[in-house]
Structure 1
């Protein structure tokens, strides 16, 4: 099975916020992602902003290589950007619907919906909070499953990804003991074109999954009442993937201790017992023993077949590390230990040298499916953020930025294999206000080792490693009293572990300018260029695009 390369120029990525971990945090399925369900919550003093808009644009897309072809489009779009920051609730949302009408017969009409949302509401202030998040992302593929840089393509070449999560968080005290608990349910779905099946490349493509995550911890701080802090906690994670009825189960119980060394530095250690199991069923087989593929391009699950264990690990887990917090603006946590029958390392670093700049770095390690990872990434975003979009396609790109920190788009969508995987990597982002301008840069590395049960079709993916490298940068700001500009660039590298499959590199950039003509009505102009280099293709796939249009903000 070849890997479906779904890393388009605009959305070869998924959301992963490098939010700081809380001290003594532990996630049963993904160490180093979000220490608690409420981790990204931002509080404010009462501010609401709602900006609905409509756009009418003219686009030209020039395929520079291979060959030379120009297609023009009329683009109509509607969307809303909103944020709220109150005493007991907060959140941000950016959603956009776009319809493109081709003017030439060699073009194709298309429509997409993209957006990201994250918010919370306090049921009992400072005690019980409910939070939720959602993502809609559009990715383009070609008939070989490779990326297509051209932002305007037929809907039959479009893959739409949807993900959402919600759940409550409890934080309370019983004397000197702090009690924290949370639960989260998530859902992720990928709608992909059927044509991929005909090429034999997409039988391994993710369909949908439902995930559940719950944890509880009770502990004391150093000096309250003992010289050291003590804690005990438990957690449970389960993800059910529709492809071949895959299931991830992870349950743990552990204790931890915090030993202060200085007022700002502490040594932390923990140990416990964890039980992890990954299992699946086989596909329906025809008379010749070949797996049967359904109309949706995925293997048909043999519900009568027995559940087969793909991976299991049960026994002692431990980790040691340091927590350094010299001020409210600087936090570091780093841990090394034993988990999944091997060494593990995870942690985070958060630094806000001033109110105008922020640095976030996160290191993660966990066993999950595609849907579970995407849900964790959403939960790690800040609740007060500004979304960056491609000025031509309107799709999500770059990093979301916030005064409390940033969350960057990483290489999660670079591979949409259905197989459960152990994912390890690092992601970082930096944003800074420079006068009236905002600059940001994000980079990261994602490595996935896939897990497949022996005797099933997923056995072909077992042990394969996919790797993604990515970097994105942007600069935006006002020009005079009525103008605004933005410049964005990106580079992605995807290396497949499948024998004979090609590696893909995507590089591109864009620039845009808008000027308010009259109140609420702006004229817009944008240009973009993108290049995709595949090891198997004789020529690079390069396109240039330009846009002229009007936007009305209500």
Structure 2
């Protein structure tokens, strides 16, 4: 994360004229220290610790370059070993660099922490000693080519992705329960090309053809995903911004994995980090295999350049499929986005898909007790309202799955006031060879919502608040549903290069009647260079 962020910033800045650099850039490295207090209402335990961090906030927004980076490394110092010492990384980077009128280089990177085992604790914040949480790193990058000077529009893109997950420091699952594998790392490649003509240029009907190939290799159990796709779409305008659309295509998807190694008693062998050991004698077993035609049809409604609605129904992945989107630019700095999706995915591919959908200029809710980058991210322009990472980060899945759901983000920016609301529902049905894991044939559901508000009081002070709630339900037999919620509020004041923050918060989670509620307080100082 740190190397990618530094490389992006250095490349962009070096490519700008000196005057443009001075006029357009905003780069602030900083150091900060904070004192944190956590009071557990259930055990009456009070923990205190000090955190020290270094980071950078950077933004470059020009006609050809759009880059934003926010990254922080933090170390916690415990008192009397009541709180474990630890290092954490959190950050988000998005970049789009227009090299020529037709060629753009795009990338993104994420460092965050989230729930590891789908059956265990789901802490709403990360203050104090937390269980069942893993550090996650993910990044993608690649070029996009687009040309449309004649009657035919042509576009092509390539993306390389990488995702890495560290093992949790403290387990949140009863060790007597059957084990669930832990994610390690994966690399992916995506290449796609599209060509089309708009309605009325050559024919009354707009036509497009597209093809794509995607491959992912996961280190856990030598899993591989290989997907090849081709489709043809038609668009028929029927008047008043309304058009009928339809498409038909062919796809071939194959997912394979090897069996875990078992000992003499038939139990799965795990390494020192808790991950399943791959059986070297196992042949690749098919977890999912589809080869055939798919189709969809629907409508597009676009009464103006600021509003577009699309809805489709079809048959794909051997069942009915529903997709759609709404994009509404309410004003220059406010917008609404809603998406309905249906994909065969993995944790790494879905996380990179969500990351690529985030804007290159964003605002994130202030939450010093949690991880700023495992929920919703809000844009500051009406054309890019933002997105949520919660559907992928609700828990880390170590196998492939079919992902279906809906997510909506509302971002409103008016002078000194910023408001953001995100909510969604996600379902994952796992593709696993029979008998290889207790999650074979199961699915899980996640409901989530988040509200963020910020108000500048004057040129040197502001207040902000963040409220969230989520519910996760696993289909594993005996796995309980988990509800989590919390809220916090912060006051910020600047004294030049030095600034201070005071925050109060409360959080709770409940696992079928058993849970935890705690209050948090933080006082921090930051010095920017």
TM-score, normalised via structure 2 length: 0.90
- Indicate whether 1:188 and 2:196 are aligned: no
Q: Distance in 1 between matches of 2:57 and 2:366?
A: 12
CA deviation vs aligned residue, 1:54-112 (integer Å, no higher than 9, x gap):
212211111111x1111111221221111111222212111011122122332222221
Residue 142 of structure 1 deviates from its aligned partner by 9.7
Structure 2 gaps of 5+ residues are 1-22
Q: 242, 245, 259: which one pairs with 1:265?
A: 242
Q: Distance in 2 between matches of 1:322 and 1:353?
A: 22
The answer for the alignment partner of 1:38 in structure 2 is none
The answer for the alignment partner of 1:106 in structure 2 is 82
In the alignment of these two chains, the number of paired residues is 502
Instruction: Show the 5 A alignment for 1:363-378.
Output: 363-378=340-355
Residue 241 of structure 1 deviates from its aligned partner by 1.8
Residue 155 of structure 1 deviates from its aligned partner by 8.7
Deviates more, 1:155-164 or 1:424-433: 155-164
Q: Distance in 2 between matches of 1:534 and 1:153?
A: 19
Q: Counterpart of 2:99 in 1: which secondary structure? A: strand
The answer for the alignment partner of 1:91 in structure 2 is 67
The answer for the alignment partner of 2:521 in structure 1 is 546
Deviates more, 1:402-411 or 1:494-503: 402-411
The answer for the alignment partner of 2:424 in structure 1 is 444
Residue 295 of structure 1 deviates from its aligned partner by 1.7
The answer for the alignment partner of 1:477 in structure 2 is 455
Residue 527 of structure 1 deviates from its aligned partner by 0.4
Given that 1:100 and 1:152 are in contact with CA atoms closer than 8 Å, whether structure 2 keeps it comes out as: no
Residue 392 of structure 1 deviates from its aligned partner by 3.8
The answer for the alignment partner of 2:51 in structure 1 is 75
Given that 1:512 and 1:527 are in contact with CA atoms closer than 8 Å, whether structure 2 keeps it comes out as: yes
CA deviation vs aligned residue, 1:3-58 (integer Å, no higher than 9, x gap):
xxxxxxxxxxxxxxxxxxxxxxxxxxxxxxxxxxxxxxxxxxx8322222221221
Q: 508, 511, 514: which one pairs with 2:486?
A: 508
- Indicate whether 1:53 and 2:33 are aligned: no
- Indicate whether 1:170 and 2:148 are aligned: no
Query: Whose RCO is larger (CA < 8 A, sep 6+)?
Result: 1
Residue 205 of structure 1 deviates from its aligned partner by 2.0
Backbone CA RMSD of aligned residues? 2.1
Q: Distance in 2 between matches of 1:415 and 1:157?
A: 10
Residue 394 of structure 1 deviates from its aligned partner by 6.0
Instruction: Show the 5 A alignment for 1:201-240.
Output: 203-240=180-217
Q: Distance in 1 between matches of 2:128 and 2:38?
A: 10
Change (3 A) 1:385 1:159: same
Q: Counterpart of 2:362 in 1: which secondary structure? A: coil
Q: Distance in 2 between matches of 1:382 and 1:398?
A: 12
Q: 350, 354, 362: which one pairs with 2:331?
A: 354
Q: Distance in 1 between matches of 2:489 and 2:416?
A: 18
CA deviation vs aligned residue, 1:116-147 (integer Å, no higher than 9, x gap):
1110212222x111111010002367998312
Change (3 A) 1:369 1:393: closer
Given that 1:144 and 1:199 are in contact with CA atoms closer than 8 Å, whether structure 2 keeps it comes out as: no
Deviates more, 1:409-418 or 1:252-261: 409-418
Given that 1:277 and 1:309 are in contact with CA atoms closer than 8 Å, whether structure 2 keeps it comes out as: yes
Q: Distance in 1 between matches of 2:64 and 2:414?
A: 31
The answer for the alignment partner of 1:39 in structure 2 is none
Residue 434 of structure 1 deviates from its aligned partner by 4.2
The answer for the alignment partner of 1:315 in structure 2 is 292
Change (3 A) 1:384 1:304: same
Change (3 A) 1:157 1:500: closer
Change (3 A) 1:150 1:89: closer
Instruction: Show the 5 A alignment for 1:104-503.
Output: 104-125=80-101, 127-139=102-114, 145-149=120-124, 151-153=126-128, 158-173=133-148, 175-193=150-168, 196=171, 198=175, 200=177, 203-262=180-239, 264-393=241-370, 395-396=372-373, 397-403=375-381, 404=383, 405-454=385-434, 456-458=435-437, 460-503=438-481
Given that 1:398 and 1:473 are in contact with CA atoms closer than 8 Å, whether structure 2 keeps it comes out as: no
Q: Counterpart of 1:377 in 2: which secondary structure? A: helix
Change (3 A) 1:175 1:277: same
TM-score, normalised via structure 1 length: 0.86
Q: Distance in 2 between matches of 1:494 and 1:64?
A: 23
Residue 149 of structure 1 deviates from its aligned partner by 4.4
CA deviation vs aligned residue, 1:343-398 (integer Å, no higher than 9, x gap):
11111101112124211101110111110100111111111112223134564354
Q: Counterpart of 1:375 in 2: which secondary structure? A: helix
Q: Distance in 2 between matches of 1:69 and 1:264?
A: 61
Q: Counterpart of 1:411 in 2: which secondary structure? A: helix
Q: Distance in 2 between matches of 1:239 and 1:323?
A: 32
